[in-house]
Chains A and B, each alone.
Chain A
Amino acid sequence: MNSTARPGSSIVRQLTSTPEFLPFTLLTVLVVTFAALTPNFLSQGNLSNLLAFTPELGMIALGMTVLMTSGEFDLSVGSVFGFTPVLMWTLFNEGIMPLELAMVIGLIVAVGIGFVNGWFVTRLRIPSFLVTLGMMMTVRGVALYTTSGFPQRTWRAESWLMDLVVGDFYVGGFRLYASLFWFIGFALVLGYIMTQSKFGNWIQAAGGNPIAARARGVRVSVTKTWLFMLTSFLAAYAGITSSIRVSAANPNSGTGYELEVIAMVVIGGTALAGGRGTILGTVLGVLMLRMMRNGIVLIGVPGLAYNIFIGVTILTMMALQAYLARRHPMGGG
């Protein structure tokens, strides 16, 4: 701790000490680089494409950000992303209930999964890594077993709900999906909760120093359980969105998303160990990793090589964050 490093000593210092500084800078560099290398990158078609899938991963990342700020994380989000739409469309396709009700049931079941995660972590005091790893396999297993691995069709349905969730429309030449606005809406609400609300203060305290928080009367376990439920809800909603957009509910979809999402959140400047999180940073982190995947393909890097780029980027980001964290106690890590 460097006691002379008080904020306000200089504007540059203050700017570089905000956790969003690094992801913002790198995102800018990324956009400029890709735009210079290939004109297609900033084309209408490509940007529309980018904005179609990004909100789906982004919504999971928003939930994960809040959960990680409270000192926990959730590996089961990818499975919930795949399972919830399978459940919803099975209920509908089998004629058991109307689509709207099926969606509500799907979301309730997902929130229940989040509750079970939270209960295991806070009541049985099992680390969230183990609890959510188990939940990840259980939920995925249920999705695969009940469908025998086959996707559920979604193209026969007609409902106002589908337009509301992920209907597409054109703005000028841009094809946009409603999911983009849901993503922005969720980000604004969670950003408000994290920075302005009393609950947000509790979330940060629960992750920063749970013993101190508890001693002040903060209900740490209840707070964390709510956040597990929120994370599960957002993963389920993202999964439903995705199933409608691609016209299929595949029991395998979402595999591996949990790690990609955690990478996005950490790159955005949220501390893996908890106590500090930024919704704006996560939005930047999500855009960064998505644009990188997209741009790498556009400039002609072989598809099989692109994980190398993602991996190296994550390592570089971590190193830079760690370096900034040493210079400013609040700057990272």
Chain B
Amino acid sequence: MATDLIQMKGIAKSYGPVTALDGVDFAVRENEIVGLLGDNGAGKSTLIKILSGTVTATRGDIFVRGQKAQIRNTTDAIALGIETIHQDSALVTQLSIARNLFLGREPTIGPGFLNRMDKRKMNEVAGRLLKEIGIKKDIPATTPISYLSGGERQAVSIARALHFDSDLIILDEPTNNLGVEETQGVLRFMRRARDTGHSLIFIAHNIHHVFQVVDRIVVLRRGKVVAEDVDPKQTTIEAVEELITGMAITQAA
């Protein structure tokens, strides 16, 4: 197998006396969906925040395609091809779909000092993306996000990550508060992203959703990796739940 897309080695993070992560090794290969599971406080969010640049690690190294990487802020992460879609909202509801898609990377037209957005291009690309991601209703790209349903919003977030060719898309509870059909839409989307050459990290409390879509499951407990190569096809939800809560270990001891 070639080098991993992302490799995190010996990652540690403490908040004062509280240790959130204690020497975690974590890797994502090319073209795979990794499910990152763990109970509240297990360290999932911290690990993801370190990877997406909102938190810096106390110790440890990150490698992107074998190259040592410095991720000091979100801009660094985005430049390395790492996109994060947060659970609450990664979108500005007051702005249109097109303005959100290109936020922070708006294409410009004309002389530089005018700083003018190429709105025609933005709306054109956004319109095409909306069709691609399977939003069937005819929504113009100039529609503000506040008019969209929860599933449509997640779809826009994912479409944005796909459009900017992120190598790694991190989804933090993307199926929270979504209906059944919308959830299926998001999961379909994740598969399509993988099949077109992206890797994904999927964090969710709902293990059923994780089982439907991931290639591999990594389980964190109290800041440590307790399982890193669980194949959802070879195990059961119950077995994974035991890993998350640590019940199996207590019984074995």
Q: A residues engaging B (CB < 8 A)?
A: 1, 3, 5-8, 193, 196-202, 204-205, 207-209, 211-218, 271, 275-276, 329-330
Contact = CB atoms under 8 A, between A and B. Distances in A.
Contacts of A1: 146-147
Contact of B114 (A197, A204, A208, A212): A197
Nearest to B90: A212
Contacts of B92: 204-205, 208-209, 212-213, 275
A217 B74 contact: yes
Given A3-B149, A330-B94, A330-B144, 8 more contacts: A1-B147, A7-B140, A7-B147, A198-B106, A204-B95, A211-B86, A215-B54, A329-B147
A212 B89 contact: yes
A7 B106 CA distance: 24
B122 to A, nearest CB: 10
B166 interface: no
A198 B94 contact: no
Contact of A6 (B78, B84, B143): B143
B93 A208 contact: yes
30 contacts: A3-B149, A6-B139, A6-B143, A7-B143, A196-B117, A198-B106, A198-B108, A199-B115, A200-B117, A201-B99, A201-B106, A202-B103, A204-B95, A204-B99, A205-B95, A208-B95, A209-B91, A209-B94, A212-B90, A212-B91, A212-B92, A212-B103, A215-B84, A216-B90, A216-B105, A218-B104, A271-B94, A275-B92, A276-B94, A329-B93
Contacts of B117: 196-198, 200-201
B90 A330 contact: no
A70 to B, nearest CB: 12
B183 interface: no
A329 B54 CA distance: 30
Nearest to B88: A211
B75 interface: yes
Q: Which 3 A-B pairs have the closest CB atoms?
A: A216-B104, A208-B92, A217-B104
A217 B75 contact: yes
Contacts of B68: none
B234 to A, nearest CB: 36
A209 B147 contact: no
B192 to A, nearest CB: 23
